[in-house]
């Protein structure tokens, strides 16, 4: 929505309010300013009165004008614009004036004739184009005094403000609507434009027009007739329409656009002489449908669909001698679904009606007549015809305590009532409850939250004390739902890491479980009637089932078999718990051009890396798991923090041979142990970090886990992560070994200096010397 300061000043007093204050006010009340531009006419540009206009003696397209600019003698000016012949008052740039673009006016000789000045177009003055050719001035801009500087005319030196509106603020798609919001924010009353119609037809409209209605229409239309006789607009209308980017070709279309932009009312004009009638009377039929759709017809011809579109063949122009004006309103909550469901064709005015046009149709027609009267030659009928029903009055119940709770701060009752009254609400108080009558132009106000938003934006969001957001709500996430989400996320990560999900029976072979030292059910809780002899007990591990699945895949010719399963297992007493098991057998990856068709075999590091992609960083400690699958040298317990969550191992060669498998790795985890109690968040630094290596001489028998735990105890704020990159043993080192650890250092406060880096590494070295007996190599 684009407005101008002088246009707003016709509806609200802005004296003492500068443009910066307007800018801040608009932004504070939710009408975000997208752009603001001040237009100013350069010095030396004055009002000129064209005394005579003759053809240039040596050029058909040039005119020789005598122009009064308030001096003793008129100026002789050569002008090439064709419309100068129709002009009385024009904008004249006198000799010495500097126009936009540093264009200085100097005396010139055109085709042998001297010219002292330039008659300007609006574009040459830095304004938008108001018409083709020169800019024609008239009394609508102020009293035309030859020689008076145009910089003294406020309408020509205006501020144009473009506002970004949200879709629900259709009430602000007009000068009147924006002025209403300013009135509430600035605590200044709205002004009523001083207007008295020049003349009106005293004959009743019913003598010339019959309106027949059919059906119930949940909106309203208002009709009136006017005698056109060559409608003319004014310089003020052309200038303002150009400033707000609403310029039209036809003068009547410009007048309609001006009245619509000012009032917010949807207005259409039809050539009454083209309408169907009997004798001198025009007959119109207004047919409403049950879903809010309606048509205004003249015989078989469709004039318009209120709020949707106007038909062009019957559209009036400035040359129409008799004009039918139609104003309409329909609640957008009814209009928009109807248009979408029926697939109706729309015109540009639908944008306004779909967001909520102004329902004050009488005021819209009054502003239309005022715009017509500025140019003269348009006589309106004194009476009108209407159809449909005005919008129903809507109310909202409000409790002041509820209002304070929504806003988050106590707003005095007097302030709340004052704001709502200025916004057009009707207030009816009964005890602590308040009934609010919603203004008819605010279709978007539905509940007390909407009312709180109105109060808050007028009070100003910057005046509300900042407080942490507090949400008081019970935790509705049940353990079952949480476990489901964890399992779902774990499946997605496993598939992303290259594993395939297996689903196997909850039953197993008792003898195979015993063979590999897994527990079996006690006789008292054993299965009485197994489905087959091979599945005669409940499984106590998922690993054996996955090994059997891997054997079947291997027999089908698969060379890389990565599997996982999430399922239930049972202990000796038939107590159920969920486990997650991973298996990878054979090749580490499918054959491809990257590995020249010879993929590597799965090994311990690759298997651990794949598990880490699914479960996150795992700490490996000496294996405590005891069963017939565990490899004595390639196995480990898995820890998350200090909690043991499972184990992993290369399948013992004898067990792998029993399943006809080659290199195979398995890992089994307790599902409940993998569920994190909460999510830990840590800040991310914006500054560059650095990597440093430290080579230490340590006891050969000390595993790296000791160093890892020691570094975990060190409270070093710059240390972000660490890991071993090399271990070296030789006869020269004897019972010691060389261990190289890589450290990543980073600060949240700035880029690290050399002194800070060396200090951190020194503290790390001293700590490892003290805790692990390490020495710098």
Give residue-wise pLDDT tens across range 332-347: 999 999 999 999 999 9
Neighbours of 737 (CB within 10 A): 18
Measure the CA–CA gap between 258 and 202, rounded to whole angstroms: 26
pLDDT at 11 over 80: yes
Residue 705: its pLDDT value, please?
83
- Predicted confidence (pLDDT) at residue 183 exceeds the cutoff of 90: yes
Q: Taking 80 as the threshold, does the pLDDT of residue 182 lie above it?
A: yes
Q: Where are the alpha helices (DSSP H) in 510-589?
A: 510-515, 543-555
Q: Is residue 589 predicted with pLDDT exceeding 70?
A: yes
Beta bridge partners of 578: 568
CA 23, CA 625: separation in Å to the nearest integer?
72
% of the chain with per-residue pLDDT over 90: 62
Is pLDDT of 480 > 90?
no
Q: If you ran DSSP here, which 8-state letter would residue 432 be given? A: T
In this prediction, residue 490 carries a pLDDT of 94
Buried b (16+ CB within 10 A) or exposed e, 350-370: bebbbbbbbbbbebbbbbbbb
User: Smallest Cα–Cα separation from 568: which of 557, 559, 580?
Assistant: 580
Name the residue with tokens 């080579």.
Answer: 695
Q: What angle do helix axes 361-375 and 235-243 make, rounded to 10 degrees?
A: 120
Q: How confident is the model at residue 278 (pLDDT cuts 50, 70, 90)?
A: low
pLDDT tens, residue by residue, 296-331:
998 888 999 999 999 888 999 988 888 999 999 999
DSSP for residue 596: T
Q: Which is more confidently placed, 643 or 44?
A: 44
In this predicted structure, the answer to whether residue 433 has a pLDDT above a threshold of 80 is no
- Quote the pLDDT of residue 300: 87
Condensed to tens digits (0 to 9), the pLDDT of residues 374-423 reads 877 678 888 889 998 888 888 999 888 888 888 888 889 889 999 999 99
Q: Of 91-100, 267-276, 630-639, which gets the smallest average pLDDT?
A: 267-276
The answer to whether 246 and 371 are in contact (CB under 8 A) is no
Question: Looking at residues 429-441, what average pLDDT do you find?
Answer: 84
> pLDDT by residue (tens digit) across 79-101?
989 899 889 999 999 999 999 98
DSSP letter string, 117-169: SEEPPTGGGTSPP-SSSSPEE-GGGS---TT-BGGG-GGGS-EEEEEE--TT-
Supply the pLDDT for residue 731.
86
Residues 16-37 pLDDT 10s: 999 999 999 999 999 999 999 9
What gap in Å lies between CA 422 and CA 184, rounded to an integer?
Answer: 5
Q: Please give the pLDDT value at position 704.
A: 85
E strands, 520-607, where?
537-538, 560-570, 576-586
* Rounded Cα gap, residues 151 and 187, in angstroms: 30
User: Six-digit token pair at 503?
Assistant: 């689903």
The angle at the Cα of 237, spanning 234 to 238, to the nearest 5 degrees, equals: 85
**Rounded to the nearest 5°, which phi and psi values hold at 651?**
-65, 130
Confidence of residue 147 (pLDDT cuts 50, 70, 90): very high
Confidence grade of residue 280 (pLDDT, cut at 50, 70, 90)? confident
β-strands 379-381, 200-201 pairing: parallel
Are the C-beta atoms of 609 and 582 separated by less than 8 Å? no
Most confident by average pLDDT, 109-118, 530-539, 644-653 = 644-653
The dihedral through the CA atoms of 231, 232, 236, 238 has a sign that is positive
In angstroms, how far is CA 472 from the centroid of its own chain?
A: 27
Asked if residue 2 has pLDDT above 90, the reply is: yes
Confidence (pLDDT) at 466: 82
pLDDT at 279: 66
3-state SS class at 497: coil
Provide the terminal-to-terminal Cα distance of the chain, rounded to the nearest Å: 74
DSSP state of 85: G
What pLDDT does residue 556 have?
Answer: 92
Residue 114 has pLDDT above 90, yes or no: no
pLDDT tens digits along 436-478: 999 999 999 999 999 999 999 898 888 888 877 777 777 777 8
Rounded CA-CA distance 268/278 in Å is 23
Q: Which of 571, 569, 572, 570 lies closest to 523, judged by CA?
A: 572
pLDDT in tens, 703-736: 888 898 899 889 899 998 898 999 999 888 888 9
Residue 250 structure tokens: 């036809």
The pLDDT-based confidence of 617 (bands split at 50, 70, 90) is: confident
Secondary structure of residue 736 in the 3-state scheme: strand
Mean pLDDT score across all residues of the chain: 90
Decide: 36 and 243 in contact? Cβ < 8 Å. no
């Amino acid at each position: 929505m684009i407005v101008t300061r002088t246009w707003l000043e016709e509806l609200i007093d802005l004296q003492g309010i500068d443009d910066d204050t307007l800018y801040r006010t608009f932004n504070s009340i939710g009408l975000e300013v997208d752009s603001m531009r001040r237009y100013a006419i350069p010095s030396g540009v004055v009002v000129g009165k064209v005394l005579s206009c003759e053809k240039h003696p040596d050029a058909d397209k040039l005119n020789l004008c005598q122009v009064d600019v308030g001096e003793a003698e008129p100026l002789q000016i050569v002008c090439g614009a064709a419309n100068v012949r129709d002009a009385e008052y024009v904008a004249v740039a006198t000799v010495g004036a500097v126009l936009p673009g540093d264009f200085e006016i100097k005396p010139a000789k055109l085709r042998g004739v001297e010219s002292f000045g330039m008659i300007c177009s609006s574009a040459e003055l830095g304004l938008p184009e108001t018409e083709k050719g020169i800019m024609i001035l008239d009394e609508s801009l102020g009293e035309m005094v030859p020689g008076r500087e145009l910089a003294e005319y406020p309408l020509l030196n205006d501020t144009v403000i473009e506002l970004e509106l949200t879709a629900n603020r259709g009430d602000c798609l007009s000068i009147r609507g924006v002025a209403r919001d300013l009135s509430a924010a600035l605590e200044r009353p709205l002004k009523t434009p001083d207007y008295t119609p020049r003349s009106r037809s005293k004959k009743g409209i019913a003598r010339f027009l019959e309106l027949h209605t059919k059906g119930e229409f949940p909106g309203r239309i208002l009709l009136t007739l006017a005698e056109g006789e060559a409608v003319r607009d004014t310089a003020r209308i052309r200038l303002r329409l150009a400033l707000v980017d609403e310029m039209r070709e036809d003068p009547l279309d410009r007048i309609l656009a001006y009245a619509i932009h000012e009032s917010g009312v949807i207005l259409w004009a039809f050539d009454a002489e083209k309408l169907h009638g009997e004798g001198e009377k025009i007959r119109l039929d207004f047919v409403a449908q049950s879903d809010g759709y309606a048509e205004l017809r003249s015989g078989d011809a469709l004039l318009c669909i209120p709020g949707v579109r106007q038909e062009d063949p019957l559209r009036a122009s400035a040359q129409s001698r008799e004009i039918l004006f139609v104003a309409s309103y329909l609640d957008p909550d009814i209009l928009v679904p109807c248009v979408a469901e029926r697939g109706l064709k729309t015109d540009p005015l639908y944008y306004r009606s779909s967001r909520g046009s102004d329902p004050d149709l009488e005021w819209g027609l009054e502003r239309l007549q005022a715009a017509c009267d500025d140019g003269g030659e348009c006589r309106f009928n004194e009476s009108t015809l209407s159809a449909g029903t005005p919008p129903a009055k809507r109310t909202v119940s409000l409790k002041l305590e509820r209002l304070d709770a929504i806003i988050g701060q106590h707003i005095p009752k007097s302030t709340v009532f004052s704001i709502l009254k200025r916004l057009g609400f009707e207030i009816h108080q009964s005890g602590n409850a308040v009934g609010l009558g919603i203004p008819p132009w605010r279709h978007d106000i539905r509940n007390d939250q909407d009312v709180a938003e109105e109060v808050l934006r007028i009070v100003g969001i910057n005046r509300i004390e900042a407080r942490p957001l507090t949400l008081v709500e019970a935790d509705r996430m049940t353990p079952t739902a949480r476990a489901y989400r964890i399992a779902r996320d774990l499946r997605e990560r496993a598939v992303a890491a290259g594993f395939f999900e297996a689903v196997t029976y909850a039953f197993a072979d008792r003898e195979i479980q015993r063979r590999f030292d897994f527990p079996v059910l006690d006789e008292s809780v054993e299965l009485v009637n197994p489905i087959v002899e091979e599945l005669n007990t409940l499984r106590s591990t998922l690993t054996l089932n996955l090994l059997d699945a891997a054997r079947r895949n291997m027999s089908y010719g698969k060379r890389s078999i990565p599997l996982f399963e999430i399922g239930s297992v049972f202990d000796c007493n038939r107590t159920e718990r969920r486990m997650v098991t991973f298996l990878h057998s054979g090749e580490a990856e499918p054959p491809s051009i990257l590995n020249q068709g010879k993929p590597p075999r799965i090994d311990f590091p690759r298997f651990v890396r794949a598990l880490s992609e699914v479960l996150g960083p795992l700490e490996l400690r000496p294996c405590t798991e005891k069963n017939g699958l565990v490899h004595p040298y390639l196995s480990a317990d898995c820890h998350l923090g200090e909690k043991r969550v499972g184990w992993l191992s290369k399948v013992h060669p004898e067990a792998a041979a029993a399943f006809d498998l080659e290199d195979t790795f398995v890992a089994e985890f307790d599902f409940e142990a993998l569920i994190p109690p909460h999510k830990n968040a840590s800040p991310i630094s914006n500054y560059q970090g650095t990597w440093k290596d430290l080579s230490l001489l340590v006891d050969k028998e000390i595993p790296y886990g000791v160093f890892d735990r020691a570094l975990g105890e060190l409270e070093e704020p710059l240390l972000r992560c660490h890991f071993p990159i090399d271990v070296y043993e030789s006869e020269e080192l004897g019972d010691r070994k060389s261990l190289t650890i890589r450290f990543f250092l980073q600060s949240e406060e700035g880029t690290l200096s050399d002194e800070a880096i060396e200090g951190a590494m020194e503290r790390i070295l001293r700590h490892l010397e003290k805790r692990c007996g390490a020495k710098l190599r």
